Structure 1
């Protein structure tokens, strides 16, 4: 038996990599009965007499697990959001940040397509960049046509398992192609009628980088729900809020209508960015609506 990591799952096969290469494996026969579903990123025990006919026998415990994209043991998420074409979407970025924080994954905000910025857009993006950096997030601005911006991104990827994620059409696959020439991942133009990109990535796959580490190209999304996240826990996934919740008068404060709320006070004083607090309220309402439906 051997140990390796699943780097790709496709058409019922799991591609397991270790120091001896990549092995094409099927899942153990009783996995379905035991409700075990191997994921890309899983460390597994497997057996194989050659590189094309192996079986995954056991899964090691996972550090974390994402549902969309279906991947495990991720150390950091590179959240790729274009500054234009499609237009920068801060509410969707905050959705992604909540999900990443909830799964104990380090987020890196990557603002792509900066070569397309107009002067007015550049000023707006500078404001957003400053806000997220003040919160404590790393923000990297990139363009596949400006090599020095790619060089700024590379150190974040070294010796890490990173997932590239974000809205469709923001340039995730183009970035990966630029970071590792020869990949030739399919890319598509933005739909002018819809204002968003087509989903060019059909499956999740870990790609090894020349500098060390792995990155996962994943299908893009246009929305994310908050299934599994409770309203009373939401503020824990906003770093600028969690540092203040112990100063609220009431335990379990939702920071909406409660008196003597430290989070609302910080918002009123302009310490917490308006758009972040507004998105928080939007997410709270959405979580409450989901509970009512169930």
Structure 2
């Protein structure tokens, strides 16, 4: 049988088959993913093949993981040499950010966008808590939206608390599998609850089915909005370490740098202190945002600036 992983509890997985039936499943043996050092061989969104062990208990064994179209990955918080796959097979990655309470840093935003870019996942920013803005903050948010818009990233300003902007988000995710991510406290759950009013029922169904006698760790979960639309909710991410991007390729995942790669004097330009660097020149002329360039330097130098 074929299905999609909709929840992971570490050693057990919740899989929905093609008819919508849920199965508690475990992996058969150990899976190694093309030499990747990952803390989780299976992620929410993975498409798998499985055999039913017990029809009444709806238990199953997963024996094959299909090739991933893409995935979002981060450094593991528990194993520094390992990576953690947040979710797989995505149509859209939405980062929920806030300018107030808590403030999302440019470094965190840019690391998320670079990761999405590296794995060919369309990404977008959702600015939540606009109900807390004063006029200066509104102006600041428009400036940031313009900055990211110029390099191809659309933004939405919403207030989950007041149900403002939710219809635009609803249209955005229609017919897609969309990941919602961000720091704890930015309002991901509030936004998702506005989009799927009966989510509490869906959450209860999944929890009661998959958590029987199993000590769970909080991982991502997939929820059905309608038969064509799925949301993957992630626990709040405190840090987002870049994984498997060589330093000499990092600038390829900054759209505003990528379009200038052939304009530098040297083919192996790192865009730091080389003469004739088109990227540095663009930063000086305010054609590349300083905050973006600072994020690039931080990632290039491998600084622990993930928040």
**Bin of the TM-score, shorter chain as denominator length:** 0.7 to 0.9
Q: Which of 225, 242, 261 is equivalent to 1:226?
A: 242
Secondary structure at the counterpart of residue 67 of structure 1? strand
Q: Is the CA contact 1:158–1:211 (under 8 Å) kept in the aligned structure 2? A: no
Kindly report which structure 2 residues correspond to 1:64-75, keeping only aligned pairs within 5 A, or say none. Answer: 64-68=70-74, 70-75=86-91
Q: Which residue of 2 aligns with 1:154?
A: 170
| Cα drift, residue 90 of structure 1 | 1.7
Q: Which residue of 2 aligns with 1:100?
A: 116
Q: Indicate whether 1:202 and 2:208 are aligned.
A: no
- Give 5+ residue unaligned stretches, structure 2: 34-40, 75-84, 205-216
User: When the two structures are superposed, what TM-score results if normalisation uses the length of structure 2?
Assistant: 0.82
| Cα drift, residue 13 of structure 1 | 2.4
Q: Which residue of 1 aligns with 2:272?
A: 256
Q: Which residue of 2 aligns with 1:39?
A: 43
Q: Indicate whether 1:212 and 2:228 are aligned.
A: yes
CA distance in 2 between counterparts of 1:221 and 1:168 reads 6
Kindly report which structure 2 residues correspond to 1:84-163, keeping only aligned pairs within 5 A, or say none. Answer: 84-163=100-179
CA distance in 1 between counterparts of 2:130 and 2:223 reads 25
| Cα drift, residue 168 of structure 1 | 1.4
Q: Which of 183, 194, 206 is equivalent to 1:178?
A: 194
User: When the two structures are superposed, what TM-score results if normalisation uses the length of structure 1?
Assistant: 0.85
Which stretch of structure 1 is more off in the superposition, 169-178 or 10-19? 10-19
After superposition, the C-alpha distances for 1:10-59 in whole angstroms (9 at most, x for unaligned) are: 253222223322232323432x2x43622211111122252612221211
Q: Is the CA contact 2:8–2:14 (under 8 Å) kept in the aligned structure 1? A: yes
Distance change (3 Å), C-alpha of 1:73 and 1:105:
same
Q: Which residue of 1 aligns with 2:23?
A: 24
Bigger RCO of structures 1 and 2 (CA < 8 A, at least 6 apart)? 2
Distance change (3 Å), C-alpha of 1:35 and 1:274:
closer
- Give 5+ residue unaligned stretches, structure 1: 187-200
Q: Which residue of 1 aligns with 2:59?
A: 53
CA distance in 2 between counterparts of 1:99 and 1:205 reads 20
CA distance in 1 between counterparts of 2:249 and 2:127 reads 28
| Cα drift, residue 207 of structure 1 | 0.8
| Cα drift, residue 212 of structure 1 | 3.3
Distance change (3 Å), C-alpha of 1:265 and 1:220:
same
Q: Which residue of 1 aligns with 2:295?
A: 279
